[in-house]
Amino acid sequence: MNFIEKITNFIVMRAAALYGGMQIEKYYSKAENADKVSEKLLMKLLKKSRDTEFGKKYNFADIKNAEDYQKKCRFRSMKIIRNI
């Protein structure tokens, strides 16, 4: 390998390492906020479905956070949900 190839290889490898490091930092940052992201999505879904039969039955309009949802809406099988 000649000098130019060595330098090019070094630059490419260094750039890849830096980029990879940035991506890992972004991943960990998002992973740390997963609970907030999940709750935000939950609230969005509850808002969209609060006027459905199921949403009215379980008072989705009154749910203010994930803890409220867990208290009011215990896990159900899809069979039960489809029959409502």
Residue 12 belongs to what domain range?
Answer: 1-32
For residues 49 and 55, the answer to whether their CB atoms sit within 8 Å is yes
78 lies in the same domain as 40 = yes
Domain check: are 40 and 68 in the same one? yes
Encode pLDDT of 54-63 as tens digits. 899 889 999 9
- Per-residue pLDDT band at 28 (split at 50, 70, 90): confident
Do 39 and 50 fall into the same domain?
yes
Share of the chain above pLDDT 90, in %: 30
Q: Is the pLDDT of residue 13 over 70?
A: yes
Query: Smallest Cα–Cα separation from 68: which of 49, 46, 48?
Result: 46
Prediction pTM value: 0.55
Q: Are residues 40 and 73 in the same domain?
A: yes
Residue 8 is predicted with a pLDDT of 84
Together in a domain, 20 and 52: no
pLDDT of residue 33: 80
Domain count, the chain: 2
